[in-house]
Amino acid sequence: MMRKQSIKYTAVAAVIALSVTACKLPETVKRDENKNVPAAYNNGSTSDANSAKTKWKEYFTDPNLIALIDTALVNNQELNITLQEIRVAQNEIRARKGEYLPFADVKAGAGFDKVSRNTNIGALEHNIDIVPGKENPEPLQDYRLGISASWEADIWGKLHNAKKAAVQRYLSSVEGRNFMVTNLISEIADTYYELLALDNQLAIVQQNISIQNNALEIVKLQKESARVTELAVRRFQAQVLHTQAMQYGIQQQIVEAENHINYLVGRFPQKVVRSSEPLVDMVPNAVQAGIPAQLLENRPDVKQAELDLAASKLDVKVAKARFYPSLGISTGVGYQAFNPSYLVKPESLIYSLAGDLAAPLVNRNAIKAAYYTANARQIQAVYDYERTILNAYIEVANQMAKIDNMQKTYDLKAQQVNALNESVDISNNLFRSARADYMEVLLTQRDALESKFDLVEAKMQQMSAMVQIYRALGGGWN
C-alpha cells in the first residue's frame, strides 16, 4: 500500500513539475511588419501597367545581347553556386520531415559473457539449468536479432514547424536565385551598352585625329608662308598627340568591359560580338512603372525577405515548444538466445514498449538563449523586410527621375554638339582667312570633341536607366 502511494505521489510531482516548466516562459519583444507603401510614385500615375511583367527576351531586342544573357544563365559560376544552395535548402526540408516520422532499425548481434560464480548472478546461472540435465555453457553466448523503433510525438508542433521553416527557407533560396538572375541580366545589359558607348567614343577620337592631322598640315603650310609661327605648329601638334593618347585609354576600357562580360558569362577573355549601330541612334524602351504595391509581388528580394520573415516566426514557435514536455515512444521486437539454433523458437521471443515524458526543470539557460535568439532574429527579419521594401521603392523612384532627366540632358547635349560642329567649321574658315587665331580653332575643336563624348555618355546613361528601371521593378527573372 505504501509503495503504491509513493508511486502515485511521484507521478503527481512529475506532472506538477512539467506544468511549471511549461507555464513560465521568458518575455520577449514583439513587432509586426509594416507593408504599407505609397499609393503611387512621384509621377502620380495609378495605372497598373508594369514593364516588370515583360519577358526579358522581349524587353531586350538586340540579338547579340540576348545571346550573351542566354550563355550567362547557363555558365555563370555565382548563379550555379546559388543553384546548389537551393538543393541544400531542399535537402533540409527532407531532414526536418524525417525528424517527426518514426525511426526504425534492424539490429543483429552476437557476444559472450563470463560472470563470476561468486556473485548473485553467477551463482544463479550455475544452479539453474537452461537445458534440464545439461550444464550451462561457460562462457555463456548471446545472439540477438530484432527490430526497434522510436518516435517523438509532436504534441506542440515543434517538429512540424521546423519543417515548415525549412520549406520557407527553400522558397527564399529560390527567390534569391531569381534576384540574382535579375541582377545578372541587368549587369550584362549595362556593361553591353557601356561597351557600345566606348566603341562610339573610340570612333569619335579616331575621326578627330584625322581632322586634327589635316589641320596640322594646313598650319605647317601657313608657317612656310609666314602666316603663323612655329608656336602654332607646336600647339596643333600637341593637340594631335593628346587626342592620339586618348584612344589607348579608351581601348583599355574596352578590353576591361569585354572581359567583365566574359566573366559574367563564364568564359575566358575573347572578343565580345556586339552591335555596330551607333549608340546615339538607339531609342530606349518606353517604361511603365505600375503602382508601388506591385513591388511586393514582382521583386524577388522583397519576396525573399518576406519568406525569411515567415521562417523566423516559425523558428520562434520551435524555440518556444522546447519549454514544453516532450513525449517519446520506443518499442522493439526480436529474438534472443544463447544458441543460434534457438533463435527461431517461441521461447526466444522478446519485445518491449516504453513511453517517456520529459521537460526541462532546472538550468534552462540554453533553451532560454535559443528562444531569445530566435525572437531577436524575428525582429531583425521584420526590419530587413521593411528595409527591402523601402529600398525597392527608392530604386524605382530614382530610375524614373533618371529617365526623365537624362532625356532632357540628351536633347540639350545634341543641340550643343550641333552648335559646336558649326563652330568648328566657322573657326577653320576664319583661321584660313586670318580673321581668327589658332587658339580659337584649338579650343573650339576641344569643346566639340568633349561635347560628342558627353552626348554618347548621355545616351549610355539613358540606356542604363532603361536597364535599371526594369531591374528595380522586378523584371528579368520570369
SS3 state at 117: coil
**Three cell numbers at 73?**
544563365
Q: What is the 3-state secondary structure (H, E, C) of 248-311?
A: HHHHHHHHHHHHHHHHHCCCCCCCCCCCCCCHHHCCCCCCCECCHHHHHHHCHHHHHHHHHHHH
User: Cβ–Cβ contacts within 10 Å for residue 17, how many?
Assistant: 15
Chain-centroid distance of CA 170 in Å reads 12
Instruction: Please provide the DSSP assignment of 22-61 as one string.
Output: HH---------------SS-TT------BGGGS-HHHH--
**Coil, strand or helix at 115:** coil
**pLDDT score recorded for residue 233:** 83
Distance of CA 138 to the CA centre of its chain: 67
The pLDDT assigned to 2 comes to 39
Q: Mind listing the pLDDT tens digit of every residue in the chain (478 residues)?
A: 434 444 444 444 445 544 555 456 777 777 889 999 999 998 777 888 999 999 999 999 999 999 999 999 999 999 999 999 999 999 998 888 888 788 888 988 888 777 777 777 666 666 666 666 666 677 778 889 889 888 888 888 888 999 999 999 999 999 999 999 999 999 999 999 999 999 999 999 998 888 888 878 877 877 887 777 888 788 888 988 998 999 999 999 999 999 999 999 999 999 999 999 999 999 999 999 999 999 999 999 999 999 999 999 999 999 998 888 888 899 999 888 878 888 878 888 888 988 888 877 766 888 899 999 999 999 999 999 999 999 999 999 999 999 999 999 999 999 998 888 888 777 777 767 666 666 677 777 778 888 999 999 999 999 999 999 999 999 999 8
Please state the domain count of the chain: 1
Is residue 108 assigned to a domain?
Answer: no
Question: What one-letter code names the amino acid at 400?
Answer: M
Q: 278: which residues sit within 8 A by CB, 6+ positions away? A: 200
Residue at 216 is within a domain: yes
Fill in the amino acid letter for 228.
V
Residue 131 lies in a domain: no
CA distance 333 to 326: 24
The CA distance from 249 to 203, in Å, is: 13
Q: What is the pLDDT of residue 123?
A: 66
Query: Are the C-beta atoms of residues 311 and 165 closer than 8 Å to each other?
Result: yes
Distance (Å, rounded) from C-alpha 280 to C-alpha 458? 9
Q: Are 214 and 165 in contact (CB under 8 A)?
A: no
Domain, as residue range, for 176: 26-100+154-324+359-473
Q: Does a structural domain hold residue 274?
A: yes
Q: Is 204 helix (H, G, I), strand (E, B) or coil?
A: helix
Whose CA is closest to 235, among 98, 436, 438, 65?
438
CA gap 30, 24 in Å, rounded: 18
Task: Please say whether the beta carbons of 193 and 464 come within 8 A.
Answer: yes
Residue 158 lies in a domain: yes
Q: Are strands 326-337 and 103-113 parallel, antiparallel or unpaired?
A: unpaired
Q: Sign (positive/negative) of CA torsion 303, 304, 310, 313?
A: negative
Strand intervals (E) in 122-274: 140-153
251: cell is 581601348
Own/partner pairs, 62-70, CB within 8 angstroms, 24+ separation: 62/192, 62/275, 64/192, 64/273, 64/274, 64/275, 65/188, 65/189, 65/192, 65/274, 65/275, 67/273, 68/188, 68/192, 68/261, 68/265, 68/272, 69/184, 69/185, 69/188, 69/189
DSSP letters spanning 437-450? -HHHHHHHHHHHHH
- Cα separation, 97 vs 330, in Å, equals 19
In terms of Cα–Cα distance, which of 109, 97, 100 is closest to 148? 109
Q: What is the CATH number of the domain that holds 243?
A: 1.20.1600.10
In a domain, 248, yes or no: yes
DSSP string, 332-374: EEEEEESSGGGTTSGGGEEEEEEEEEE---S--HHHHHHHHHH
Q: Output the pLDDT for position 135.
A: 66
- Output the pLDDT for position 403: 94
Q: Is the peptide bond before 139 cis (omega within 30 degrees of 0)?
A: yes
C-alpha span between 233 and 229 (Å, rounded): 7
The grid cell for 373 is 535568439
**Is 380 among the domain residues?**
yes
Q: Dig out the grid coordinates for 335 from the structure.
A: 529474438
Is residue 291 included in any domain, yes or no? yes
| 116 exposure class (CB count in 10 Å sphere: 0-12, 13-18, 19+) | exposed
325: DSSP letter: -
Between CA 323 and CA 15 the distance in angstroms is 14
Residue 113 three-state SS = strand
